[in-house]
Amino acid sequence: MLKVLKNLKKSWVAVLIIVILLCIQAWMDLSLPDYTSKIVNNGITQAVQNNDSGGTDYILHTGIEMLGIVLISITSAILITFLSSKVAAKLGKTLREKVFKKVLSFSRSELTEYSTASLITRSTNDVQQIQGLIAMMFRVLVYAPIMGVGAFIKVLTQSNNSMAWIIGVAILAILFIIGTLFIIAMPKFKKFQTLIDRINLVSREILTGLPVIRAFNKEKKEESRFEKANMDIRKTDTFISRIMSMMMPLLTFLMNSTMILIVWYGGQNVDQGILQVGDMMAFIQYTMQILISFLFISILSIMLPRAAVSANRIMQVLETEPSIKDKEQTKAFDQSKKGLVEFKNVSFRYPDADTEILEDINFTAEPGKTTAIIGSTGSGKSTIVNLIPRFYDATEGQILVDGVDIRDVSQKELRNIIGLVPQKGMLFSGTIESNIKYSNDSMSDEKMIEAAKIAQAEEFIEAKEEKYESSIAQSGNNVSGGQRQRLAIARAIAKDPEIYIFDDSFSALDLKTDRKLREELTKTTKNKTVIIVAQRISTILNADQIIVMDEGKIVGIGTHEQLMKDNETYKQIALSQLSEKELGGDV
């Protein structure tokens, strides 16, 4: 929590002014009872005693002074609100920006560690939480103690403070009531949270399992499961709500009793002549101020842990060092080995995993040739291509691009020469144009159209009313999966890279388009290094070399014919997709 607050440093002037203004406001608000006291003690008492009419003038005069005080108070209140809103919003902005930048520097390992969903909540909801708290903090959390302390000073500097103990007793009583209620309710609060999770889970299960539930005619069973979870919530929630509903009445009662106590003892003090009636009235008001301050602090301190959780979640992200960084001195690529990708004894495992995802991978992908990687899910084929642009770093061995270890060149340079087409054809909101020109804003339109043509995307783009200006929604959700993949391919082609990586990028295309696209692509990628990860055997039949993966290891490298002859894993995959006849009949 404190670490997050350190981000307020930049606004320290504003914070200082806020605190000063808060003090002024508190003092002003506390002075009002003084004036009432004066009116009673000096104005009324004198007038009644001496029958003199000077009292009225005195009261009027005091009234004008009071108005002045009220004006100062509202002015500072408005200024405080203004400044604290700005400070809070600024903090929110800064935190959002910091988290966002940090996440952009993360590699895949950090991303998996936190999960994307969690990072999103941390950047948005959690920051929002803090922002809300800070805005409140000045007006309530900082103000209440200032007010409390001010009132204490007022009480202590009064000519007579023999009743100060009443305040102490009252504070203890407040703390006792709130504390007891919370000790009773806290365990139930925690339980309530898990019960809410539980009912959410049951609801989600019912919703996702709808076809199954109906197919097995199990509606009643699911309903009773829900009812049970619901009953648990009802019981716990009733208990908590009842405890909480007792809090305000009890506290009000406590404050009222305090007043009764003050009047009783105050009366005796007045009788003994050590206290004036006006002072007693002022004392009542100070005491109320102090008690209310304590009340707010204790209620807020219960809210604080929630904000502290958010703060911790944000700090966690900010304090995470990205595992992949550029070296201080980076090397340049070897121009004579342009386009060469070499894997030398590469192994990889996730930080906390026991098993290797990749084990001792060795192969070379040459320019002008197509290297295909095939294998069942979980065999590690996508991981291989994720290592090339350094989304992860290999745990052992080295990967060379253009003859240089990729850890020695800058990430920027490395990624500059790679054209990646991801599995799901991830697009960004904007237009078709902004997506194809993603690698370079100033790309010529001809180049963009050319890329779209090769990617077989021209047809559907031209069919759209706004052609290349057609808008693309968040993550490309307004175009079909196949169109998304084609645009993603166009985006990579437009970049004109040395090395093409297709990570299962043809899966959403129908077979005809798939074929046509690959034909066109072959022309463009003639002198380039092409690495294709595929599920469909038909996609890779013509590759120069096919790498067969199984459980993280390479179990065979060769052409289709070679592998069909001597590789069992490859044969199995092929047979499951194509009949023997189609594969030549004699295998």
Rg (CA), the chain: 37
| Residue 334 DSSP one-character state | -
Q: What is the DSSP string of 98-165?
A: HHHHHHHH--HHHHHHH-HHHHHHIIIIIHHHHHHHHHHIIIIIIHHHHHHHHHHHHHHHSS--TTHH
CB of 314 to another protein, least distance (A): 13
Residue 286 CB, nearest approach to another protein (Å): 13
CB of 73 to another protein, least distance (A): 7
Give whichever of 345 and 482 is closer to another protein, judged by the CB atom: 482
| 76 neighbors 25 (Cβ within 8 angstroms) | yes
Shortest Cβ 396–another protein spacing (Å): 23
Select from 290, 224, 284, 219 the least CA-distant residue to 257: 284
Alpha-carbon distance values, 584 to 78, 540, 566 (Å): 85, 16, 15
Distance CA 415, CA 498 (A): 10
Residue with tokens 């297709």: 502
If we measure between CA atoms, which residue out of 470, 473, 332 comes closest to residue 406?
332
CB of 42 to another protein, least distance (A): 10
**Looking at beta carbons only, is 101 or 325 nearer to another protein?**
101
In the bound state with another protein, the residue whose beta carbon lies nearer, of 346 and 501, is 501
Residue placing its CB nearer to another protein in the complex, 106 or 348: 106
Query: To 10 degrees, what angle do helices 277-319 and 54-105 make?
Result: 10
Pick between residue 127 and residue 461 the one whose CB is nearest to another protein: 127
Nearer to another protein among residue 124 and residue 180 (C-beta): 124
By beta-carbon proximity to another protein, the closer residue of 217 and 336 is 217
Least distance (Å) between residue 569 CB and another protein: 8
- Minimal distance in Å, beta carbon 150 to another protein? 16
Q: Does the CA dihedral 312-314-320-323 come out positive or negative?
A: positive
* Shortest spacing between CB 200 and another protein, in angstroms: 6
Query: Based on CB atoms, which residue is closest to another protein, 336 or 494?
Result: 494
Q: In this complex, which beta carbon is closest to another protein, that of residue 124 or of residue 345? A: 124
Smaller CB separation from another protein, 53 or 335:
53
Q: Name the phi and psi angles at 398, rounded to 5.
A: -140, 155
Cβ atoms < 10 Å from Cβ of 417: 20
Least spacing, CB of residue 121 vs another protein, in Å: 10
How far, rounded to the nearest angstrom, does the alpha carbon of residue 511 sit from its chain's CA centroid?
A: 40
Number of helical H runs and strand E runs in the chain? 22, 12
DSSP reduced 3-state for 364: strand
CA dihedral 403, 406, 412, 413 (to 10 degrees): -10
DSSP sequence for 56-111: HHHHHHHHHHHHHHHHHHHHHHHHHHHHHHHHHHHHHHHHHHHHHHHHHH--HHHH
Provide, rounded to whole angstroms, the least separation between the CB of residue 260 and another protein.
5
User: Could you tell me the two tokens for 253?
Assistant: 């009662």
